[in-house]
Structure 1
Amino acid sequence: MAARRGRGSAARRRRKARWKSAVTGGGVLLVLLVTFWSTVWPYVTAAVFLGGTGATGWWLWRTDRLVRGRDRRWRQEEEVKAGHRTLAEVDAMTGTEFEELVASLCRRDGCTEVRRVGGSHDNGADVVGRLPDGRAMVIQCKRYAPSSTIASRELRDLLGAKVHFRADVAVFVTTTRFSRPSENFAVEHGILAVHRDHLGLWNNGASLLSLSGVNGQGQGDTRHRARWKQAYGK
């Protein structure tokens, strides 16, 4: 017992001595600063400025890393969801849900300022935003039954929306196919026509811009269309 009390007293004395040394050192430093302030103030000011700048830079770097990390995780989660989402599930969506899906796929691909504008006064557009390269885009979404066909007049409406929104790129996304005249119209007027098969590729991880390389293709030959009609009843 006496030994423990002795050790406790020794520890308290050491802490008291350290505290006294710290106070003494701080006092001496303060006296030196006051005495020689006219000489050292530029150095003190520079040290404070550099320290503040360094702390601010570190905070910005850390914040940027956190934001980028959250964005990367979100994109990975979206890719996983897309890999598990079937076109049958897309067919069961409402029109608004389909527009939200298209908007989320655009964000996944790095598009910015993406927002859904579909509604009764949408001026022919459902989703607007900017491609990763900065070009403005306008998108028309049509969640039709797979047995339906997109007519040329619907693509003409999209051209009007492109002018209204001053967009650089027009995209038409549908859960069905384009008629041959409407497909030709899209290619002729620079509209990216995303039909059901291309939507499946986009949904499963292909980027929107990569589909531009196969625009006007992928709907198959006569035998493919015959099988399509057999599968979907038209």
Structure 2
Amino acid sequence: MTVPERSVRRSGRIRAFDLRATALFFALAAILLVAGAYTARAALAAAERRPAWAVVLCLIGTAAAALAVRRRRRRGHLARRTARRAAAALQEGAMTALDALETPPEQAPAVVVPAQAGPGGRGAPLAEDTVVLADPVVDYGLLDPYEFEQAVAALCERDGCAGVEVSGGAGDLGADVLAVAPDGRRVVVQCKRYCATNRVGSEDLQRFGGTCYTVHEAELALFVTTSDFTAPAVEYAEQCGIVCVDGEALKAWSDGAAPPPWAVVSPVPPPVRP
């Protein structure tokens, strides 16, 4: 089989000598040379007549040239410094990523983990939508109000309550947690996650006392808070038969250092106030 030869195109061509273009080039060069000579002669004559101006112009030109050189050097220095900083940042980021990959994850303390509210909202049974770890160690002050309600409900279920529900929210009428104690009493809990300086006042107790018995038919009313109660609030609670659980009592209950409230309070229902 015969392979046809490809024609090779020659890119370079030998240009012929052009006398007219050459003459024009030398003529222009002569004109520029003569113009430069006349300009230099005029500048020398001006310098002889006014030497001070000549010195000033020379200084200005020298300063302009030095400034241009300095700017070029500064730009180069800034570029090199920026490049060094970028390289250092990249190296530090890479080292941090390697340390994070090599460091084993710390064991998180056991906590009460509230599940996401399902189609039934907050009133869903605790046993179905809440995961309670064994021996929980909870900092109740770090929880949000809903998580605090879930944590109190988890305590109730841990200590033997049945039918535990978290019903807190808009329109709950003071009942955040509903449960049935091991002795069969209906437990209604109001939860207030307050800071240490915000004490529960008598107004909060009055609102809870107006609904816990008449609306929710409580046989044991609990008011649980992370802070403390004022003296008028404690007095009103004693009159209405409401059990007050402050921050210290809540911690003791959570740690197992104290029995649950329904194990201490008499099973006789308190009198209903009009």
Give the TM-score normalised by structure 1.
0.54
* SS, match of residue 105 in structure 1: helix
Residue 170 (1) aligns with residue 221 (2): yes
Q: Which residue does the alignment assign to 2:160?
A: 110
Shift of 1:161: 2.4
Q: Which residue does the alignment assign to 2:192?
A: 142
Q: Which residue does the alignment assign to 1:92?
A: 142
Amino acid at match of 1:117: S
Q: Which residue does the alignment assign to 1:217?
A: none
Q: Which residue does the alignment assign to 1:186?
A: 237
For 1:177 and 1:152, how far apart are their aligned partners in 2?
12
For 1:207 and 1:121, how far apart are their aligned partners in 2?
31
Shift of 1:80: 1.5
Shift of 1:197: 0.9
For 1:198 and 1:187, how far apart are their aligned partners in 2?
17
Kindly provide the CA deviation profile for residues 176-213 of structure 1, in whole angstroms up to 9, marking residues without a partner as x: 00001101111121101001110111110133224548
- 8 Å Cα contact 1:126/1:141 also seen in 2: yes
Amino acid at match of 1:99: E
Residue 80 (1) aligns with residue 116 (2): no
- For structure 1, the 5+ residue unaligned runs are 1-70, 72-76, 214-234
Kindly provide the CA deviation profile for residues 100-154 of structure 1, in whole angstroms up to 9, marking residues without a partner as x: 0000000011011110000011111100111110111111000000111111111
User: Any residues of structure 2 matched to 1:46-61 within 5 Å, and which?
Assistant: none
Amino acid at match of 1:168: E
Which of 204, 210, 214 is 1:154 aligned to?
A: 204
Which of 174, 196, 217 is 2:247 aligned to?
A: 196
* SS, match of residue 102 in structure 1: helix
* SS, match of residue 167 in structure 1: coil
- 8 Å Cα contact 1:137/1:171 also seen in 2: yes
- 8 Å Cα contact 1:144/1:174 also seen in 2: yes
For 1:212 and 1:178, how far apart are their aligned partners in 2?
19
- For structure 2, the 5+ residue unaligned runs are 1-126, 267-274
Please identify the structure whose Cα radius of gyration is greater. Answer: 2
Shift of 1:160: 2.2
For 1:125 and 1:183, how far apart are their aligned partners in 2?
19
For 1:211 and 1:120, how far apart are their aligned partners in 2?
31
- 8 Å Cα contact 1:103/1:116 also seen in 2: yes
Shift of 1:79: 5.1
Amino acid at match of 1:154: D
Deviating beyond 3 angstroms after TM superposition, the runs of 4 or more aligned structure 1 residues are: 210-213
For 2:231 and 2:144, how far apart are their aligned partners in 1?
27
* SS, match of residue 207 in structure 1: coil
Question: Which stretch of the first structure deviates more once superposed, 179-188 or 154-163?
Answer: 154-163
For 1:142 and 1:188, how far apart are their aligned partners in 2?
20
| Equivalent pairs, count | 134
For 1:168 and 1:80, how far apart are their aligned partners in 2?
28
Q: Which residue does the alignment assign to 1:229?
A: none
Root-mean-square deviation (Å):
2.1
- 8 Å Cα contact 1:115/1:127 also seen in 2: yes
Q: Which residue does the alignment assign to 1:126?
A: 176
More helix by share: 1
